[in-house]
Amino acid sequence: MCRAFPIGIGFALMICVPVWTQTANSRESTIRYDHSRWKLIKRMSGSFDPLPETTEVLLLKSLKPTGTGGVGQPMNDVELLIGYGKVILYDYTKEGVKPNDNGTRFYSDDYLEIRSVTNDGFPEVLFHSGFEGASNSITIEHILFYDKLGASFVDIALSSFYNSGTHGFRWLNLAGRTFAAIADRNWPATVALKDRCHYCPSPFQYGVYQWNTEKGNAAFKMFRRFFGKESYQEAYQALSGDWTLIQSGLSH
């Protein structure tokens, strides 16, 4: 963020500061939450245009289990709070849970990041929720974008932005731009349906998305698609194995 400070008639000094910062958990939070229900996992702060002061972000985990996984393992809720002064701009458990979060509202990991993924120089807040099944797990990617008109944060992640055994998601930074890469199985027509088991090796196809603001409809939209030839058991293996393929394809 840059500001001009006058230093004389017709002259101004331009000073630029980073638009986001991080803070340690040791500093006392200004956001009030129920300490008998939630445990603080991570705290960060950032600057979101046009708010003149820094905004605080808390990642919380419920102290007690609130559900069970696929084999009966205890699972805890996740909570994400964003506060500006005494005002709560975002509360995941109250207003952030989307329809595709049903069953995946649980704490997944301690991932919390403030970074720009919309290529406009201003940051978003990223965190995870998820669910652990019997033979698979799912980790939902949340991308909180500050809506200036609504003076609140909204989740702009597509429903396909998640990780599981057969579906992969990863951020890709290339030449100053940020992309979202998604991996899905691409079974050859010659493979019978009965042979397409959950973790049987297969080739993968990749959809690469980029934030697009054309025609006033801002959203992540398909930028390019690639088809891998090697076979992999899981999506994360496919993304790692075909990462060079994806990057080289975007470079041309």
Is the same domain home to 101 and 175? no
Beta bridge partners of 92: none
Are the C-beta atoms of 56 and 82 separated by less than 8 Å? yes
Q: Is the pLDDT of residue 203 over 70?
A: yes
Report if residue 10 sits inside a domain.
no
**47 three-state secondary structure:** coil
Report if residue 12 sits inside a domain.
no
Give the residue among 64, 62, 13, 14 at the shortest CA–CA distance from 38.
62
The structure's pTM equals 0.87
Is the same domain home to 137 and 177? no
Tell me the pLDDT band of 27, cut-offs 50, 70 and 90.
low
pLDDT, one tens digit per residue, over 159-197 is 999 999 999 999 999 999 999 999 999 999 999 999 999
Tell me the pLDDT band of 102, cut-offs 50, 70 and 90.
low
Is the same domain home to 202 and 104? no
Token pair belonging to 251: 């470079």
Is the same domain home to 175 and 91? no
pLDDT above 70 coverage of the chain, percent: 86
Report if residue 11 sits inside a domain.
no
Note the pLDDT of residue 104.
87
Distance (Å, whole) CA 141 – CA 220: 13
Distance (Å, whole) CA 78 – CA 118: 25
Report if residue 4 sits inside a domain.
no
Note the pLDDT of residue 24.
46
Domain that holds residue 94: 19-157
Note the pLDDT of residue 26.
47
- Please count the structural domains in the chain: 2
pLDDT, one tens digit per residue, over 117-140 is 999 888 999 999 999 988 889 999
Is the same domain home to 47 and 87? yes
Distance (Å, whole) CA 244 – CA 250: 10
